[in-house]
Each structure stands twice: as C-alpha cells, then as structure tokens.
Amino acid sequence: MSEKKLDFMDEVINKEGMSRRDALKFMGISPIAAGLLASTGSGAVTKAEASSAKGKIVIVGGGAGGIMAAARLNSALSNPDITIIAPNETHIYQPGQVFVAAGEMTTSDLLKKNKDFIPSDVTWVKDEVKTFDPDNNKVTTRSGKEIDYDYLVVATGLQYHYEWIKGLSVDDIGKNGISSVYLNNPEKGTADGGDITNQWFKDLHSSSKDGNNPKVICTQPATPIKCGGAPQKILYLSNDYLKRDGLSADFTFATNGGKLFGVPSVNKTLNEVVQPFYGNITNKFKHNLVEIDVKNKIATFEHKYEVKGEYDEDLEEYDMIKKMDKVDLPYDFIHIVPPMAGVDAVANSKLSWQKGSGKGWLEVDQETLQHRRYKNVFGIGDICGVPKGKTGGSARHHGPIMVSNLISAMEDKELKEKFDGYTVCPLKTRYGKIIMAEFDYDGEAPSFPLEVGEERWVWWAFDLYMLKSMYWYLMMRGLM
C-alpha cells in the first residue's frame, strides 16, 4: 500500500489531535476515502480464488444483510446460481435517521435504488416470502409463487409493533407530542421517522422557549431492538438541542433494562459524565411502556421490581418476591421506541426458535450462523436469534463468516468461521460527541486503539461524514 494511503488512514483514526478543519477535509471526501479503504484489503474474491461449488442459493430479504450476502456470494462462487427475493425497490440507510432527526442529514441522503447494489447476474424476484417450508426446501411468495432452493439465506430483518402498545397506532406518530425516529417502510422506500423527530425537536424547543418546562419521556421496550443505543441517542440529542440555546425540559428515560448500557465502561461514562452534563434526566429502570392515552398525554408503564419476603435461616438471606405495578406518567412530549420482533413469515415457521428468549427469531448457531436443525439454511442480520448483533455493524461482520461457512457446507467441509458477537453502537451523547461502543460476546471489542467508554468528536465526524459512504460504496458491495 502506498505511503499516501497509509497517511490517509492515519488521519482517519488519529486520536483527537487532528483539527476539525483537517478531519472534515479528509472525511468530507468520503467516496474517495472509501475507494482507498477498499484497496487496502477488502472482502472481494478473485475468480481464480472462487469456489466451484454448485447449488441454487435463495436469499430472502433486500436489506443490508441480504444484499451484502448476494454481493459476497456472487464473487465467492465461480458459477453462482443466486436468487434474491425482496419487494423493495429502494434501500434505506437506516442509521442516518437519527442524524435526520438532529438536523444533520436529510431523508433524501438515506435513499438509493436497490438495482444499483444487486449484482446483475443475480435473479431478483420482486416479491415477499409469506411461508417457509424447510422440510421441502422451498418458499412461497405473497403472489403464490413457489421457489425451491438447495441453500437458503434468511435476511428478512425485523418488524416494528407499535400496535403492541395499547392505545397507539402508527398514525399517531408525529401528532400530539409523539415521535419515533424508527418509523420507516422499507417496501415503500419511506423513512418518515427522521423528519417527524426533527419536527419534534423543534416543537420541544418552541415549548421550552415559551417559558415552559415541558415533560419529556424517551422509552426503550422489553424486546430486542435494532441498535440498542438509539433510544438514548434521542434522549441526549434532543436535550442538547435545547441546552445549546440555554433552554431545558424535564426528561425521563423509561427503559425496561436495569442500567443505562451493558458495557461497564460505557455505562460508567453515561452515569458519571453524560447525564450529569445535562442534570435534568430521571431514569426509570424496569419500566416498560404498555399503554398510552394519546388524547390526555399519559403513558402507562409496567414496573417490575423485587421486595424482601421471609428470612431463610438456612440460607441466611431473604426470599425475594417479584412484583409488578402499573405506573402512569404524564408527558408533553414522548419519543417511543416500538417493541420489535422477527417478521411473521419466520416467526410462524419451523425456522424460528420455538421457545425461550429467542422465540420468533431465526434459530441459528450463534457462532457459525448456520441453522441448528436445517443445515442448508443460514442467517444474516437482525433476524438472527443470537445474544447480540442487531446493528448494521453486526451484519457486516456476519457477511464474510456466513458466506465462508455456507460455501464450506456446499463443499461438504467443516464450518470453521466463527461470529464473536461483534456489535457496534455509535452512541451520540451530544452534538459533536459520540461514544463508539464496540463489544462482542465477551465484552469490549475496540477496532481502533481508543478506549471504548470515552466521548470523542472524531467518532462524530467519522459517523456523520464517512460511515454512510463506506456503507454505500463498500459494505453494500461486499467489499468490507
């Protein structure tokens, strides 16, 4: 690699020493940067290295996971026979919806055509899979078409369930002080949540400016969610949006979890640095939003807790009794993160976990990403029922592991590649500051020689100015 390229990489990962001018200079030309990064060693496979394995591969899903799988498999096989089933003509860069809410991107920045990413020699069926029949190696689409396969890649992603919150419907989002940055429709190619939440920021600002001290609630549900840090991103960015103009509000973070973040160093920074910086946040742990009175602006939560029971002399400790109360919290503004689940077609099939915490998600081995019962089925992305990994960064790490193991299965070889649970969350704690929380099954897993639990401007610049182009030009083409 040339000295110039090495210098460029040094600038990208430089520890806060670079000036903002220099950082923007380099990160602002991110398509060029992406090209340089691609040439440093990508996931591409030359035809000379490609496998001659044979078999019809069907990929279900046209999001990041499905398209990355198609691109990687297409280059990894010398004579690929690949079909992708996906109804969406438009691809949404979903991580950007938070930046749209913050006023740093526009929705148009997030949308591109799927035809620009699906390899031309991959057969694209523009339909949705309604049923899986793994016993007979076939799927049936919404239009009634049966498609058989030798190998199946499930990349359907997840779905939002606003309706699981009693009294709430999707139509309520954007009205009466209710917002949800997640709101989008991949099939229709719409991503309204960012714009709705940006207006929510502005309405909150106006209310605070009028001398009020509005009550604001940000929620996090009891289910697994796409990007576990996103609820707090809205909590902090909306708060900072006010703070920069000397305004304030009464914020409540209501989460079903028992702490702010699972990674100890990140949790410590949030408790000792970030939340004291604002000084106006009340945390309600073990609070799960179950009902909302839209008209009267009252949110009802299930609050789970434990109390001491009788003292056990043999164990020399108290029995702990689990309890649950309903708690009503009034609000002026509320940001709702909807409960999430695997898509119905997977959840209602033999491919899903049938019981336990993973019920309804794809039953894959957490390391090989191969189905635990159907050995010709693999998973990638949010649908995978593994302990961690519902982020785009996880899907990127799934890609080479899943493809390598799938080809090994096609060649009747041992599956050697292991997914370590890598997950990344650029936790936006204020405008211009991000904690880049990288972790895996074992704990912290930093990609760069920077401490995981620290707020840094360089990560804000990387996320805002560079990551989107890396996503379009590298990840979606199976190059990283």
Q: What are the residue numbers of the active site?
A: 227, 425
Helix axis angle, 192-209 to 230-243, nearest 10°: 40
Among the listed residues 154, 192, 155, the one whose alpha carbon sits nearest the alpha carbon of residue 174: 192
The Cβ-side half-sphere exposure at 253, using a 13 Å CA radius, reads: 25
Residue with tokens 């020689």: 449
Q: 171-179 — which CB contacts under 8 Å span 24+ positions?
A: 172/294, 173/336, 174/199, 174/200, 175/294, 176/294, 176/295, 176/297, 177/203, 177/297, 177/331, 177/332, 177/333, 177/334, 178/292, 178/294, 178/334, 178/336, 179/234, 179/333, 179/334, 179/335, 179/336
Structure tokens given for 96: 């950007």
Residue 117, classed as helix, strand or coil, is: coil
**Alpha-carbon span 476 to 71, nearest angstrom:** 7
Angle ∠(356,361,367) on CA atoms, nearest 5: 90
Find, among 163, 159, 305, 178, the residue nearest to 234 by Cα.
178
410 and 393 Cβ atoms separated by less than 8 Å: no
DSSP string, 98-111: HHHHTTSS-GGGGE
Interatomic CA distance for residues 177 and 166, integer angstroms = 17
Quote the crossing angle between the two packed helices 20-27 and 3-13, to the nearest 10°.
120
CA gyration radius for the chain?
A: 23
Closest CA to 205 of 244, 179, 171, 255: 244
